[in-house]
Structure 1
Amino acid sequence: MNRHLPKEADPSSLDEAARAGWLYYVGGMTQDQIARELGVSRQRAQRLVARAISDGLIRVRIDHPISACMDLARALQQRYGLDLCRVAPGLPDGADPLVTVAPVAAAELERIFTTPDPLVVAFGTGRTLRAVIEEMQFVDAAQHRVVSLIGNVAPDGSASFYEVIMRVADKLRAPHYPMAVPVIATDPADRDHYQLLPHVKNTRSLAARADVTVVGIGQMEDDAPLHVDGFISKAELDHLRAAGAAGEIAGRAFDGDGRYIEDGTNLLLTSVQVPVNDNPVICIASGERKQPALRAALRGRLITGLITDEHTAMALLSR
């Protein structure tokens, strides 16, 4: 039996790609120089550098703020009364804006976690936050505590694939407090039972004292994350939309004015409602699909900070 690893999983190949990427982006070497250094052809050196980026072995950040992005951030802060705003450079049409937003957001989280004074930082969940955490560097931040705002179990008992609290803790070596209960209870009695469990009470109490809250935002169209990820049915999604749902944060749907809906699955959530107190709530979101939800959340002052991309920022300022 052939016990060799497939080429794409060969550690030596990954090492070579990482070395080529390092020489190109950090060492400033040309592809011809890299080829000579590694003893490979120029074509292979070119492929190795490309692979270093495509496989996430090398991550590129721009430390110099672009003036146009800074102007957009200031305009958003003024328009919506935000305490913090970061705007990442835009990408061509059709590109995933998360590619440019995630590094900017990761740098902001790293800045927060390098604060020497102990903080409690509460996190939502979802694809965006997962991508941001993957971009974060490892930070020695054991003085902080990270806590989840939302449960991590789907109705069928499966764990949420996009929960981020464990990954955050791994990056920080910090104590972490997941909310180990279903996102949505089957009925009010079960909801009350879950929330009274000692470990859940402790997690919810800690989240309510968060110094900083970091969330994504969900749209309420047919591709709503709550529905796509199996937490609510299509009928439950339609019920929330009929009640005026424009978006959701930590599973809790709100209307076009940023007011939480007192109906449907909102009544069965085990999650903590955002904002949890008067401390900052930083929302990381971008893309056309997120814009209605963002406008509503900004209108209702559900968030006090925003990290987004250039195109989304311009759209939010256009109305």
Structure 2
Amino acid sequence: MLNWEERRLMVKVAKLYYFEGWTQAQIAARNNVSRPVISKLLNNAKKEGIVEIYIKDETVQTVELEQTLEKKYGLSEVIVVSTAGFAPDMAKRQLGKTAASYIAKNLKGIKSLGISWGTTLLSLIEEYPYERRDDINIVPIVGGMGSDYVHLHSNQLAFNLAQKMNTSCSYLYAPAMVESDELKERLVNSKDIAHVLERGRNVDMALVGLGNPFKSSTMETIGYLEESDLASLRKAGAVGDISSRFFDAVGKEVDHPLNNRVIGLNLDEIRNIPEVIGIVEGSYKLESIEAALKGGYLNVLITDDRTAQELLEE
């Protein structure tokens, strides 16, 4: 039990430190004691309930979600975006804005930046600030050609991001998925395509989205996936895709003819990129995200608060 004098000293020290903004060294000098003594008094004031610390801001909840997810999945960083009350298109835009800001601040030492394709990455690029980054080369890590939905393809996204950064980009002159294994072999062995794929394998950082092939799938919308493909993917155990490569519930690339016809990096090659940033929202992708995290494909996850909460409850 503390006596009156001990309590009085604790209150005095706490008031100087928390309200008056004094440093521990200044308080120590004033009371003729060493700095560790002041540090111990402040800690004891918390233990005794004399000092209670609250963080009065709604972001404290998202920060807690971030830290718990980082620990659970061994990620270097998680950013949780609060999208409560937002319509779906506004939620995606908010996610794009947050991702754009994060990437713009974390490009130190990055010489080459890989990019996949999809609606989430489109929204990131739309929100990306105009700046000078002429020492960075943007590289598509999956093919992206076709006459429909061109704005979502990797080549178009690479070009748009290069314009925002005032820098150069490479082009992968091939579709994401081709009709036959034979055509794929011919294309990936052609000089230009082989060169860009090799560049893709050696990027310093990559930006990827994540898909659920069975719910609101952009690949189905674009016409890459037919009903019969979806049935056989389900049978093969696919739960999600990164860069048009399908993986199962434990994050392993599925053995499926469609995976063999993709022109782009495979999942092992994506995993080997030093920093892979996954930008994904929507709890309908929950199983896909969880499997991708189990597979170890992402270093950084940027997602919405509802999805983050559900990931922790899994």
TM-score range, shorter chain: 0.7 to 0.9
Tell me which structure has the larger Cα radius of gyration: 2
Q: How much does 1:250 deviate?
A: 0.4
Residue by residue over 1:174-233, the C-alpha shift from the partner in whole angstroms, topping out at 9 and shown as x without a partner, is 110121101112111110111012111111011100111110001121532211111122
Which deviates more from structure 2 when the two are superposed, residues 126-135 or residues 66-75?
A: 66-75
1:108 equivalent to 2:98? Answer no
* 2:258 equivalent in structure 1: 265
Conserved 8 A contact 2:116-2:142: yes
Instruction: Tell me which protein shows more helix as a share of its residues.
Output: 2
Picking from 133, 151, 158, the partner of 2:125 is 133
Taking the aligned partners of 1:65 and 1:267, their CA distance within structure 2 comes to 46
Q: What residue number does 1:252 align with?
A: 245
Deviation at 1:67, TM superposition (A): 2.0
- The answer (yes or no) to whether the contact 2:115–2:140 under 8 Å persists in 1 is yes
C-alpha separation in 2, matches of 1:89 and 1:193: 46
> More displaced, 125-134 or 266-275?
266-275
RMSD: 1.8
Residues 205 and 173 (structure 1), Cα distance of their counterparts in 2 relative to 1, 3 Å cut: same
Partner of residue 202 from structure 2, selected from 201, 209, 223: 209
Secondary structure at the residue paired with 2:117? coil
User: What number of residue pairs does the alignment pair up?
Assistant: 252
Q: 2:231 aligns with which of 213, 233, 238?
A: 238
Paired with 2:136 and 2:230, the residues of 1 have a C-alpha distance of 36
CA distance in 1, matches of 2:148, 2:190: 20
Aligned residues of 2:141 and 2:243 also touching (Cα < 8 A): yes
Alignment of 1:91-170 (within 5 A): 91-92=84-85, 95-96=88-89, 97-113=91-107, 115=108, 117-154=109-146, 158=148, 160-163=150-153, 164-170=157-163
Normalised to the residue count of structure 1, the TM-score between the two structures is 0.75
CA contact (8 A) 1:247 1:254 kept: yes
Give the aligned partner of residue 291 of structure 1: 286
User: Residues of 1 paired with 2:189 and 2:225: CA distance?
Assistant: 23
* Alpha-carbon contact 1:240-1:264 (below 8 Å) kept: no
* Counterpart residue number, 2:41: none
- Distance of aligned partners of 1:65 and 1:195 in 2 relative to their CA distance in 1, 3 Å threshold: farther
> Deviations along 1:285-313, whole A, 9 cap, x unmatched?
01122111101101111212100111111
Q: State the Cα distance separating 1:278 from its structure 2 match.
A: 4.6
Displacement of 1:95 in angstroms is: 4.1
What secondary structure sits across from 1:152 in the alignment? Answer: coil
Q: Following TM superposition, by how much is the alpha carbon of 1:284 offset from its aligned partner in structure 2, in angstroms?
A: 0.2
Asked whether the equivalents of residues 203 and 273 of structure 2 are also in contact (C-alpha less than 8 Å), the reply is: no
After TM superposition, the structure 1 stretch with the greater mean CA deviation from structure 2, 229-238 or 287-296, is 229-238
Change in 2 beyond 3 A, CA 1:197/1:134: same
1:249-291 deviation per Cα after TM superposition (whole angstroms, max 9, x unaligned) = 0001101110101112111111112325251111000112211
Pick the aligned partner of 2:73 from 54, 72, 80: 80
Query: 5+ residue gaps in structure 1?
Result: 1-63
Structure 1 residues 93 and 174, CA, compared in 2 at 3 Å: closer, same or farther? Answer: closer
TM-score normalised by structure 2 residue count = 0.76
Tell me, in whole angstroms, the C-alpha distance in 1 between the residues paired with 2:84 and 2:92: 10
